[in-house]
Amino acid sequence: MKIAFHVDPLDKLKAYKDSSVAMMRAAAKRGHELFAIEPGNVFSRDGSVQAFARSVSLAAGADDHGHDWYQASEPQATPLKAFSAVIERKDPPFSMEYVYHTYLFERAEAEGARVFNSPRAIRDNNEKMAILKHADMIAPTIVTRSAAVLRDFVSLHKDAIFKPLDGMGGSGIFRVRENDANLGVIIETLTLLGTQSIMAQRYLPEIVDGDKRILLINGQVVPFALARIPMVGETRGNMAAGGKPVAREMSATDRKIAETMAARLAPEGLFLVGLDVIGDKVTEINVTSPTGFVEIEKQTGFDVAALFVGQLEQVLHKT
């Protein structure tokens, strides 16, 4: 099969830990042809959605900390429907430009392209806002740009987390408490003086045991969760914020959460999902470029990327 990855520039990927690279390697092992499409290289012309795609080959034994892990051809304009599958792996921020490219990919689907995750499903499931559809699975949560509503929420719950709706990697996240002297300026900063909505969630003290990443692939639950343990003095477990990744077998509670959410999300066209779970509460539903593949395999031996490619083959062979 010909598998194209819509991914951030290849020379920016950290091959030693990047889940997209792990997927490419698993696909190559199974004999599939690889292609890369970088952001900005998808376009519509003469009624066809195309992309400047580069054929990619992977170098065996390369230094994963450098750029010699791959070789790529010059870009060639190719209709997206010419690929067996297009894997959506562009990182947020989920800007209007991101929304526009989901429209292009959705148009490509109408022409016969197979895109994973579904562009409509990505657009309909903002990674922060999507949890609101699953009120039975989350902690007390509000979305607002009102300073008064945010202050009332903190007053009610005493301890809260504020986060922007378009961030990633823990950026822009604040923990605030009642009577916090900086509460006003934090609200002004995050809401851009009341012009931009943010999310507030009741603080979950279970974060000390890790912010767990649970992966769902085609409705299947990866049997290990990646607990991201915050650094001392931090409230964010994100690896980009210095959290320590620790792979663990899932508890009965984790598995129940995972199976419940898998049954809800897979039918929407969400082939790969990364749930963020603290304690027994879902805090985010990651659908753009969920990570954690490499850390789980290194620590447990479970090959998440092979499961991903195997499930992809099953879906494509059914059609």
pLDDT at 243 over 90: no
Q: pLDDT of 14-26, one tens digit each?
A: 999 999 999 999 9
Q: pLDDT of 281-318, one tens digit each?
A: 999 999 999 999 999 999 999 999 999 999 999 999 98
Give domain status of residue 238, yes or no: yes
Q: How confident is the model at residue 192 (pLDDT cuts 50, 70, 90)?
A: very high
Do 152 and 240 fall into the same domain? no
Give domain status of residue 313, yes or no: no
40: Cα separation from own chain's centroid: 19
pLDDT at 64 over 80: no
Alpha-carbon span 107 to 120, nearest angstrom: 10
Do 27 and 57 fall into the same domain? yes
Alpha-carbon span 269 to 94, nearest angstrom: 18
Do 255 and 179 fall into the same domain? no
CATH number for the domain harbouring residue 263: 3.30.470.20
Do 114 and 65 fall into the same domain? yes
Do 284 and 246 fall into the same domain? yes
Strand partners for 212: 227, 277
Q: What pLDDT does 238 receive?
A: 58
Please give the share of the chain, as a percent, with pLDDT higher than 70: 94
Q: What pLDDT does 93 receive?
A: 78
The pTM of the full predicted model, rounded to 2 decimals, is 0.92
Q: How confident is the model at residue 233 (pLDDT cuts 50, 70, 90)?
A: low
Give domain status of residue 127, yes or no: no
Of 118, 148, 175, at which residue does a domain stop?
118
Of 203, 218, 233, at which residue does a domain stop?
203
Do 11 and 106 fall into the same domain? yes
Give domain status of residue 8, yes or no: yes
Do 6 and 114 fall into the same domain? yes
Do 14 and 102 fall into the same domain? yes
Give domain status of residue 55, yes or no: yes
Give domain status of residue 43, yes or no: yes
Strand partners for 2: 33
Do 287 and 190 fall into the same domain? no
Do 216 and 163 fall into the same domain? no
Q: pLDDT of 110-153, one tens digit each?
A: 999 999 999 999 999 999 999 999 999 999 999 999 999 999 99
Q: Which residues contact 158 (CB under 8 A, 6 or more apart)?
A: 177, 178
Give domain status of residue 135, yes or no: no
Do 9 and 113 fall into the same domain? yes
Mean pLDDT of 221-239: 78
Provide the Cα torsion 142, 147, 152, 158; round to 10°.
80
| Domain of 144, in residue numbers | 140-203
* Structural domains counted in the chain: 3
CATH number for the domain harbouring residue 197: 3.30.1490.20
Q: How confident is the model at residue 95 (pLDDT cuts 50, 70, 90)?
A: confident
Give domain status of residue 133, yes or no: no
Q: Which residues contact 151 (CB under 8 A, 6 or more apart)?
A: 183, 187
Q: Which residues are catalytic?
A: 128, 163, 213, 228, 236, 276, 284, 286
Do 36 and 55 fall into the same domain? yes
pLDDT at 241 over 60: no
Of 185, 203, 221, at which residue does a domain stop?
203
